[in-house]
Structure formats: C-alpha cells, structure tokens
Amino acid sequence: MNKDIQEFLKKKPELVVEWQDNYTDATGWLVINSLRNGATGGGTRMRSGCNLPEVVELAKTMEIKFVVSGPDIGGAKSGIRYDFKDEKDKLDILKRWFKYNLKHYKTHYGTGGDQNLDFGRHVFPLLSELGIKHPQEGIVRGLYKDLSLASQDKIISNLVKGVSLPVRFDKFLESLNFKLSDISTGYGVYESLNNFFKLTDQDLKGKRVILEGFGNVGMPSVYFLYKSGARIVGIYDKDWNVVDENGIGIIDFIKNKNTFTKEKQVKEIEYPEADIFIPAATSHTVDKIKLDKLKEAGVSVFSCGANNPFVNTEVDDLANSSISVLPDFLANCGTARLFSHFMKPDVLLSEVDFLKDLEDCMYVNLKEVIKLENNIFNLTDKMYKLVLNKIND
C-alpha cells in the first residue's frame, strides 16, 4: 500500500458522533469522513463486536466508493455495537439511534442497510416513522441545496419509487417478490466478475465459484453467476456449508434453503477446486491461512462483496500481489449506484436503465485499471490511486 493511500486512511474524519443508549449497553458511532459538496453517505450496521476503528475504516471505504459509483459526495458510516436478542430488540435500539441522529438525516447524511440491518425491512420503515421521506433524503438536501424544495422533493420521490421497483427482468426473482434494492449489490458483484473476464479475454462460463456468506449480497451474486454458466462449488455461511464439486443447483437451493442438507462448519475448512472467491459475509474474515488455502484450491480472482474482507493490510497486500482482487469499493457498489442513479434529476423509473447503468459503471472503472498497465494484479492500489487523484482535484 503506497504512501498516499496510507495518509488517506490515517487522516482524521471530519466528524465522529458517539452515542450510548439509555436503556441497554448499546453504543453507536456515526463517522463522517467528509462532507464533499455538502453531503455524505454510508450504511448502518449492528453487531456485537462493532467498534470505532471499524466504522472509521468503513466510512473511508464509502468515500472511495462514491467516487466510483456516484454521487459526488463524501463517505460516512454508522455502526452500533450491540448483541440484540431478537427482531423487536434490534428495532427498538435502531429507532433510538435514528432519533438521536435525526438532524443529520434531514440535512446532509444518507444511510442504508448493512450487516444485520436490511434497507427495506429496518432502515426505510423506521426513518419514515420519524418523518424522513427516504433514507437518502439528507444527501439530496445537501447535494442539491441550490434546487428548489419542490425539485428536491421530486428527486426524493424518484428515489422512493426507483429503489422499490419490482424485479421483472428475471421471472424466478419476480416470483419471490424481489425489488431492485434486494439485488443491486449482488448484481454488482456479478457484473464486476463478468466485466473482468470480458476485459481479460476470458469466459465466465464454467468458472468455479466459492461463496462466503449466503445473505443479501452473496445470494444474488451467485444466482446471477449460476445463470451465466458459472459453477457454484461451495457456499460457506456462519454455521454451515454446502459443497458440491459438480455444482450446486442454486435455484433449488434458494427455494429450499431451510431444508437443504447442510454440513456444520468445522474449524479447519478445506475448499474445493475453484477459480473465484466471493467474500460476502462481514469484514476481516480473510487471514493468511484462508488466503493460502484458497490459492491452493486454484482461486485466482476475488470479488469483494463484503467491505474490508482482509484481516489487515499485510494480507490485503499479499492477496493483491498474487491474485486479481476486485476491491470492495467497486465490486459491492451496486446499492450506492442504485441510489446515485435514481437521484439524478429527471431520471426514468426503469429497472432496465439502472441495470445497464450499473454494468457500464463496472466496465468503465475496470477498463481504466486493467488497461492502465496491462496487468491484472494490484488492482486495488491502481484503483485507489485513480480515485484519490479525483478526490484531490
């Protein structure tokens, strides 16, 4: 990792808001790395081990991600450290957190879902109860402050309608009542791989895929890979795994995931032969041991569905120097692109237009770094340099 990137990551954020719940031991942090063009954005997560350095790191990742995906704003993140008991307990904590930070959501900060928090089931409904028209309202108010209130409200209305558009282009996902917001990040992970193989004159069809984390990101990503002819040979979730070297039938697996035969996770995981690894669980899951095992299994490409998947910079550097790592701020920018797309004044409310926009975003950014030196290693550093140049312009 070069000096400029290290300086960016070490630079103190513009604002850190710390919160202590009055009724439980929940502690939260809102980190605003910067207010570029009057606005900032980043999702909200809740987990028992969350801490301030983690949230700072994620806010900086969001800063980079918005340069890649748009809109042209700063990066932020919210993290709540809490071991919630059940869904009601989770919602009670989240509502009190939102109330505490309400002024930010009204004027300059937009948020979304993240670990253990879903955009459609948790974030949007609770903020709506508090009078926020859309979780990205603060970005619209800050970024488009020179527009009339009516024009801002029209953009917010487009956001509400756009991200909630039902998926119609895929009949299976349509039958499950999926919305664009349910698939946007996973579709982006898929498109990052699809465009990588196109730009390196390879075929995605037949490639063997290992997934870590069968959630809102991982599930759609392997579904679209499966439909493109890739073979899903391993799925590893928190407490179980499914391995089939001949390929897992993803459609049947999604339909019957609660009854599908799953092996309990063991401490020493052995991976099947594979070409692609998608870390899509939580941050910092890939250590040197796991990296070595994946390389031994034949993995040559990572598409980072999770933010900051490597345990530290040393493992990050080892991975980038020996395999092709499609960085998190590109690979999982689908939801950021979704918000950015429907935040454009006079945008068409079309799922087809959004999917094409996301595909173009992946292609343009990957083409820029892959063709830069005709080298498929150290892609993260190359993209960081290009992004930091844009931030510093």
Helix 288-296 vs helix 313-322: crossing angle, to nearest 10? 20
Can you give the pLDDT of all 393 residues of the chain as single tens digits?
Answer: 678 888 898 999 999 999 999 999 999 999 999 999 999 999 999 999 999 999 999 999 999 999 999 999 999 999 999 999 999 999 999 999 999 999 999 999 999 999 999 998 999 999 999 999 999 999 999 999 999 999 999 999 999 999 999 999 999 999 999 999 999 999 999 999 999 999 999 999 999 999 999 999 999 999 999 999 999 999 999 889 999 999 999 999 999 877 777 888 777 788 999 999 999 999 999 999 999 999 999 999 999 999 999 999 999 999 999 999 999 999 999 999 999 999 999 899 999 999 999 999 999 999 988 876 667 899 999 999 888 888 887
At 82, is the secondary structure helix, strand, or coil? coil
Predicted pLDDT of residue 35? 96
How many Å apart are CA 285 and CA 306, to the nearest integer? Answer: 9
Give yes or no: residues 148 and 218 share one domain: no
Name the token pair of 75: 């990066």
Looking up residue 36, the CATH number of its domain turns out to be 3.40.50.10860
Give yes or no: residues 303 and 322 share one domain: yes
Predicted pLDDT of residue 49? 95
Number of domains in the chain: 2
The reply to whether 44 falls in a domain is yes
Among candidate residues 163, 196, 211, the one where a domain is terminated: 163
Give yes or no: residues 141 and 191 share one domain: no
The reply to whether 71 falls in a domain is yes
Contact 120, 131 (CB under 8 A): no
Token pair 């070409």 is found at 275
Give yes or no: residues 256 and 208 share one domain: yes
Give yes or no: residues 18 and 153 share one domain: yes
Find the Cα–Cα–Cα–Cα dihedral 102, 107, 113, 116, rounded to 10°.
Answer: -30
Give yes or no: residues 150 and 190 share one domain: no
Helix 379-392 vs helix 351-373: crossing angle, to nearest 10? 110
Predicted pLDDT of residue 373? 61
Give yes or no: residues 97 and 179 share one domain: no
Looking up residue 193, the CATH number of its domain turns out to be 3.40.50.720
The reply to whether 128 falls in a domain is yes
Predicted pLDDT of residue 391? 85
Give yes or no: residues 228 and 111 share one domain: no
Predicted pLDDT of residue 258? 72
Among candidate residues 163, 194, 225, the one where a domain is terminated: 163
- Please give the backbone phi and psi of residue 159, each rounded to the nearest 5 degrees, phi first: -60, -50
Q: How many CB atoms lie within 10 A of CB 315?
A: 19
Tell me the residue range of the domain where 248 lies. Answer: 171-392
**β-strand 231-236 against 44-47: which pairing, if any?**
unpaired
The reply to whether 4 falls in a domain is no
Predicted pLDDT of residue 261? 74
Among candidate residues 128, 163, 198, the one where a domain is terminated: 163
